[in-house]
Amino acid sequence: MKAVMTEDEMFQAKDDEKASSDSISDSPVFDFINSLSPIATPKPLGSAQSVQLFKSSDLVPASSIFTSPQVNPQKEYKPRTRYGYAQLSQGLSPIYQRNQIGISSCIELSGSPTIASENCSPSEYATILPSKWPQPIPLGSEILGDANKQDTDGKADHSQDVGHVKLSSTCYDQNGIDQLDSSTSGRNVQENELTKQYNDDLAACSLNHLISRSGTGNAVMSKSDLSLEAQQLSWKLRSDVIFSKLFMPMDQGNLEDSRRKLFDGSTGCYIQSAADDSHVYYAGAAEGVATNHDPKMLPSVIQSQLVSNEYFFDTFKIPSDVMALSEHQCGGMYRRSLFNEKVRTSDLSGQSSSNLHHANICGDNYMKPPRSPVYALPGIGLHLNAVASNASNNKPFTINPPLPPELNSPTTIVSCSETVAVRRKLQNGDGGSCRRCSCKKSKCLKLYCACFAAKVYCSGLCSCQGLNNHTHEETVSCIRKRTESRNPLAFAPTVTRACDSGSDFGDDSNNTPASTRHKRGCNCRKSSCLKKYCECFQSGVGCSMSCRCESCKNSFGKRKGVLLLATEKMDKGAKAKGTRSKEEKLAFHKQDVVSQSGDLTSTEDLFATPSLEPCRSSILLPSTCSEPPVSTVGCSSQLHNSQSPMKADVLFSPSETCAMEPILVDGSSNIQEVSSSCTTRVKVVSPNKKRVSSLQTGTGLSPIGRSCRKLVLKSIPSFPSLTDDADSEPH
């Protein structure tokens, strides 16, 4: 009883909060925002209902639904907060806070309240609570076939027998499984075994099924609808920071030149936006450096992210009346017009790509029309991997595994021709977003299957023999749930932003907004993280502390490896002892000495020693690197360039971070990092391998300072532990 009262108190507080928001809803600002929803939602019903999201009065008090004393709404909301809703709401507007409330409440409501309250045991409530759902509702995947679709669709199908333990769904009873099997022409022993195995999941699925069996679907928004609407708003609210980060404050005199380089696809620039922020990787390095990165040499993922001139030239033309941007605005204070967003997305949803209008991020036409139909589509928020893996393979556009809202970046590189199709696919729930898997034994029901892992259904484009399709969507749903129950990160994005973390990179507390890291880390051995076997490499990100790779040579950034840790330990030990053994000194010195020839091979060899391997600086000489783009340019490159007669390699000593990444710093706030990154124990060695100088490469020396490119190296915090992540609240 006490718990119930406590719960009531909480809901009372919630009601108060809603009441407070009601006053907000009367404000012109709210009306304005509310009128902006430009993206045509896949389901008209969802759109209509989404409006109700903002009407707190429409929200059924959660207390009327969940009476279980075990429910702790605050706790249950936490994961959602973790995924960024709260973060967004804190920083942006009370409107989104309202939305957040709506999301939380309505998602819980998506199951029939009657069912939830009458037919579920207290323990079952937890299953229905949003936190128990695999993850925040993504834009694409749900619509593209996530079995949560059944939450809405299933309402009609399963509107009967509510409360029965045994349900008629194929997913939840043995008969259904049998039917499933019989429906599969290629039924065999293995499949039977598979079925048997999956039966274990049926019980767990049944609870979720209760949600889908809501018989009162009229007043309840589906999760898809909710999420879509929420994300639309999210993107709208967040999108205006995208290009302000893309275009860092630059010296006006060099602005255009910098931009030209920035968006010159031929030089290997690409934008990555796997995370909350737009990521600009300028593979071309700083000016004067012959990086010569052939886009073809990029991993397919990255190739697809190449941003051509056309991209910006064509896609960011906007009506001047709605978006008059000046150079000044580009300099750092640009904020995209929500109106323009509306126009653009409306065009997107309804018309051909030729009608696309995109925010002219800089208002001028410094970029000439090019060839590649690749462009970024702010506002869609698809995961970069989704785009990447497809563009490179000429595959149909795929939606990546759903991302938490904070990871759904508004900026995504999407091929122009694909965009409209994608919209359409979202609306149709079409399975055309498959990954063209070739699974056989896994039946596309394990993470081996790229489609399954991406939470999309296989399609005719796949050469698989799996069951991951609409026909077996409920089974797929069950398996997904089971998979996720085993590994909560099973469907997590492989790449996520590093600023989620900050914990495991030791002293580097500078979260790099533009950096990404592989979520789980690779375990490469033979590939040295230089082939697509390596997920990090494939995703175009550097390895992090989360990785357990050996001989990491990931050109996107090596992890802070064993040596670094060892040497740090060694240093500490030496300090403690007051001396260091000759062997240690020798080994340590070995790292400092770099051939003047700039022969990377020799450098590689130098660090080929297993004991040394992981810590080699991520800096690779562009001129000698035949591998995919070196993401770490900037400082080192500047050094290299400025010391061109010497062609000296630059290594960071072990005390320096090994995971470096070029970023475009956002204004003066990060200027300090330029110098700090470039001055720390950088050693240049003469041809005769004598140390000739210890460069102090401040902004004055570096072309960075001259060009004001603001392309700098920055230490990349690697990924946080999941625990930390889960426990930490966004700031």
Which tokens is 208 given? Answer: 């979720």
Residue 375 pairs with which residues in a beta bridge?
414
Our finding on whether 440 is near DNA (CB under 7 A) is yes
How near is the Cβ of 388 to DNA at its closest, in Å?
10
Output the smallest distance, CB 9 to DNA, in A: 39
Binding mask 536-575 for DNA (x = CB under 7 A): --x-------------------------------------
Q: At what angle do helices 338-350 and 223-239 cross, to 10 degrees?
A: 130
Is residue 310 within 8 Å of 417, Cβ to Cβ? no
**Which window, 97-105, 439-447, 639-647, 689-697, contacts DNA (CB under 7 A)?**
439-447
Separation CA 23–CA 598 (nearest Å): 66
The nearer residue to DNA, 261 or 436, going by C-beta atoms, is 436
Residue labelled with tokens 């550097």? 542
In the range 364-423, which residues lie near DNA by CB under 7 A? 389
Neighbours of 166 (CB within 10 A): 12
DSSP per residue, 545-570: TT---SS---TT-----HHHHHHHHH
Q: Binder to DNA among 99, 527, 638, 718 (CB under 7 A)?
A: 527
Handedness of CA 36, 42, 48, 53 (dihedral sign): negative
Nearest-5° Cα angle at 119, 115 to 123: 105
Residue 237 or 391: the one with the smaller Cβ distance to DNA is: 391
Hey, what amino acid is at 292? N
**Member of 387, 449, 454, 620 binding DNA (CB under 7 A):** 449
Question: How far apart are CB 393 and DNA at their closest, in Å?
Answer: 8
When asked if residue 526 is in the footprint of DNA (CB under 7 A), the reply is yes
Q: Which is nearer to DNA, 227 or 528 (CB)?
A: 528
Judged by CB under 7 A, the residue of 520, 558, 560, 616 near DNA is 520
Dist. CA 447–CA 450, nearest whole Å: 7
Is residue 486 within the footprint of DNA (CB under 7 A)?
yes
- Contact (CB, 8 A) for 50 and 226: yes
Measured at the CA of 87, the angle between CA 82 and CA 88, to 5 degrees, comes to 125
List all residues 6 or more positions away from 632 whose beta carbon is below 8 Å from its beta carbon.
557, 617, 618, 619, 620, 660, 661, 662, 713
For the CB of residue 461, give the shortest distance to DNA in the complex, in Å.
Answer: 11
Tell me: does residue 689 bind DNA (CB under 7 A).
no
Residue in the structure block whose two tokens are 């928004």: 221
Residue labelled with tokens 């299933």: 154
CA angle, corner 150, sides to 378 and 139, nearest 5? Answer: 5
Three-state SS across 474-488? HHHHHHHHHHHHHCC
Beta-bridge partners for 516: 497
By CB under 7 A, is residue 627 in contact with DNA?
no
403, 422, 439, 704: which one contacts DNA (CB under 7 A)?
439
**Rounded-to-integer distance, Cα 22 and Cα 100, Å:** 14
According to CB under 7 A, which one of 310, 418, 535, 656 is a site residue for DNA? 535
Minimum gap (Å) between residue 560 Cβ and DNA: 17
DSSP H helical ranges for 26-69 = 28-34, 44-53
Q: Which is nearer to DNA, 179 or 197 (CB)?
A: 197
Residue closer to DNA by CB (options 255, 439) is 439
Query: Of these, 24, 447, 574, 625, which contacts DNA (CB under 7 A)?
Result: 447
* Interacting span for DNA (CB under 7 A) from 91-99, 504-512, 531-539, 609-617: 531-539
Write down the residue that tokens 């494939």 correspond to: 538
Could you say whether residue 531 binds DNA (CB under 7 A)? yes
Residue 398 or 483: the one with the smaller Cβ distance to DNA is 483
Q: How far is the CA of 36 from the CAs of 233, 321, 463, in angstroms?
A: 9, 17, 42
Given 3-state DSSP classes, what are the helix, strand and coil percentages for the chain, each rounded to the nearest 5? Answer: 45, 5, 50
Cβ 535 to DNA, closest distance in Å?
5
As measured in angstroms, the least distance from the Cβ of 462 to DNA is 8
Residue 378 φ then ψ, to 5°? -60, 135
Cβ-based nearer residue to DNA, 89 or 442: 442
Using CB under 7 A as the binding rule, whether residue 446 contacts DNA is answered as yes
Range in contact with DNA (rule: CB under 7 A) among 9-17, 178-186, 348-356, 449-457: 449-457
296 counts as binding DNA under rule CB under 7 A: no
Q: Given the complex with DNA, which of 124 and 181 has the nearer CB atom?
A: 181
Question: Does residue 461 bind DNA (CB under 7 A)?
Answer: no
CB nearer to DNA: give 303 or 707: 303
> Is residue 197 close enough to count as binding DNA by CB under 7 A?
yes
Q: Which stretch binds DNA (CB under 7 A): 161-169, 278-286, 418-426, 486-494?
A: 486-494
Binding of DNA by 608 (CB under 7 A): no
Q: Does 532 bind DNA (CB under 7 A)?
A: yes
One of 367, 450, 621, 664 touching DNA (CB under 7 A)? 450
Which residues have CB under 8 Å from 497's CB, separation 6+? 274, 275, 276, 277, 406, 407, 513, 515, 516, 517
Which run of H or of E encompasses 642? helix 635-642
The answer to whether 423 touches 429, Cβ cutoff 8 Å, is no
For DNA, the closer CB: 101 or 522: 522
Of 139, 274, 437, 587, which one interacts with DNA (CB under 7 A)?
A: 437
Measured from the CB atom, the residue of 442 and 591 that comes closer to DNA is 442
Q: Stretches 267-275, 396-404, 526-534, 710-718: which one binds DNA (CB under 7 A)?
A: 526-534
Supply the minimum distance, in Å, between the C-beta of residue 449 and DNA: 6
User: Please, are residues 275 and 492 in contact by the beta-carbon 8 Å criterion?
Assistant: no
Phi/psi at 32 (5° precision): -65, -55
Q: Could you tell me which stretch among 51-59, 205-213, 519-527, 570-578 binds DNA (CB under 7 A)?
A: 519-527
Residues of the shown chain interacting with DNA in the complex, contacts defined by CB under 7 A: 197, 389, 435, 437-443, 446-450, 453, 464, 483, 486-487, 490, 520, 522-528, 531-535, 538
